Structure 1
Amino acid sequence: MNSAFERAIAAFEPAHWPLAVGFSGGADSTALLAACALRWPGRVVAFHVHHGLQAAADGFEQHCRSTCERLGVRLIVHRVDARHAQGESPEDAARRARYAAFAEMARSGEGGVAVRSVALGHHADDQVETLLLALSRGAGLPGLAAMPAHARRNGLDIYRPLLGVAGAEIREWLAGRDLQWIEDPTNDDARYTRNRIRSVLLPALEQAFPQFRATFARSVGHAAQAQQLLNELAAQDLESVGSPPRIATLQTLTRARQANLLRHWLMQSHGCAPSAAQLDQLLDQVRACVTRGHRIHLKVAAGFVERKGDFLHWYNAPPSPKTSL
Structure 2
Amino acid sequence: MAATATPRIAENDLVAVAFSGGLDSTALLHTATRSGARVLALHVHHSLQPQADHWVAHCEQVARDFGAAFACMRLSGAPAVGDSIEAWARDGRHRALHDMTVEAGGDLLLLAHHRQDQAETFLLQAMRGAGLAGLAGMPRAQWRDGLCWARPWLDQPRALIHAYAAHHGLRWIEDPSNDDGRFARNRLRQAVWPAFPAAEAGLVQAARWAQQANALVAEIATEDLARLVRADRLDLAALAQLSPARASNALRAWLATHTDAPASLVERLLAEWQPGATQAWPAPGGALHAYRDGLFWATPTAQPPAPGTVDLSRPGLHPQPGWGGAWLVQAGEPGIAPLRLARLTQRARAGAEQFQRAPDSALRSLKKACQEAGLPPWRRGGPLLFDTAEQLIAVSGLGMDARAFAEKDEPALSLRWLDDSALPQREGVRESAA
TM score, norm. by length of structure 2: 0.61
In the superposition, relative to structure 1, how do residues 312 and 88 fare at CA in structure 2: closer, same or farther (>3 Å)? Answer: farther
Q: State the percentage of identical aligned residues.
A: 36
- Alpha-carbon separation, structure 1, partners of 2:130 and 2:88: 19
Give the CA deviation at 1:52. 2.7
In 1, Cα distance between equivalents of 2:282 and 2:287: 5
Deviates more, 1:172-181 or 1:64-73: 172-181
1:15 aligns with one of 5, 8, 19: 8
Are 2:249 and 1:253 aligned? no
Residue 98 (structure 1) aligned with residue 93 (structure 2): yes
Question: Residues 52-93 of structure 1, C-alpha deviation per residue, up to 9 Å, x if partnerless?
Answer: 333332222221111111111001222333744455433233
* SS, match of residue 290 in structure 1: coil
After TM superposition, the structure 1 = structure 2 runs for residues 1-325 of structure 1, keeping only pairs within 5 Å, are 14-16=7-9, 17-40=13-36, 42-81=37-76, 83-85=78-80, 88-109=83-104, 114-206=105-197, 209=198, 212-242=199-229, 243=232, 245-270=234-259, 272=260, 274-285=261-272, 288-294=273-279, 296-299=280-283, 302-307=284-289, 309=291, 310-313=294-297, 315=299
- Write the deviation string for residues 88-118 of structure 1: whole angstroms up to 9, x where unpaired: 4332332222222222122212xxxx11111
**Rg larger in structure:** 2
Q: 1:154 to 1:54 in 2, by over 3 A?
A: farther
Q: What is the Cα deviation at residue 200 of structure 1? A: 0.6
Structure 1 pair 82/215, CA: closer, same or farther in 2 (3 Å)?
farther
Could you tell me how far 1:34 is from its partner in structure 2? Answer: 0.6
Distance of aligned partners of 1:315 and 1:177 in 2 relative to their CA distance in 1, 3 Å threshold: farther
Cα deviation for residue 226 of structure 1 reads 0.8
Q: CA RMSD in A?
A: 2.5
For residues 237-263 of structure 1, what are the alpha-carbon distances to aligned partners after superposition, in whole Å with 9 as ceiling and x for unaligned? Answer: 222222453434433333222221232
Q: Secondary structure at the match of 2:148?
A: strand
Is this contact kept in 2: 1:49–1:78, CA < 8 A?
yes
Question: Given that residues 115 and 154 in structure 2 are in contact (C-alpha distance below 8 angstroms), is that contact kept between their aligned partners in structure 1?
Answer: yes
Distance 2:210 2:147 in 1: 24
1:23: Cα distance to partner? 0.7
Q: Count residues with an aligned counterpart.
A: 289
Q: 2: distance between equivalents of 1:201 and 1:252?
A: 45
- Residues 1:244 and 1:293: Cα distance change in structure 2 (over 3 Å): closer
1:186-243 deviation digits (Å, cap 9, x = unpaired): 211111111101111011111xx3xx33332222111101110101111222222224
CA deviations on 1:113-154 (whole Å, 9 max, x unpaired) are x11111100011111111110111121111111111111122
- 1:43 & 1:183 partners in 2: Cα distance? 27
- For the residues of structure 2 that align with 1:86 and 1:180, how far apart are their CA atoms? 36
Tell me, what secondary structure is at the counterpart of 1:97? helix
Residues in 1 aligned to 2:267 and 2:79: alpha-carbon distance in whole angstroms:
27
In structure 2, what is the Cα distance between the partners aligned to 1:203 and 1:82?
A: 37
> In the aligned structure 2, how far is the partner of 1:159 from the partner of 1:214?
21
- Cα distance in 2, alignment partners of residues 34 and 51 from structure 1: 23
Partner of 1:320: none
> In 2, Cα distance between the equivalents of 1:183 and 1:146?
25
Higher helix share: 1
1:53–1:82 CA contact under 8 A, matched in 2: no
SS state at 1:220 partner? helix
Structure possessing the higher relative contact order (Cα contacts under 8 Å, 6 or more residues apart): 1
> Could you say if the C-alpha distance between residues 82 and 241 of structure 1 is closer, same or farther in structure 2, counting changes exceeding 3 Å?
farther
TM value normalised by structure 1: 0.80
Structure with greater proportional strand content: 2
- 8 Å contact from structure 2 (residues 278, 290) kept in 1: no
State whether residues 247 and 312 of structure 1, in contact with CA within 8 Å, keep that contact through their aligned partners in structure 2.
no
- Separation in structure 1 between the aligned mates of residue 95 and residue 192 of structure 2, nearest angstrom: 31
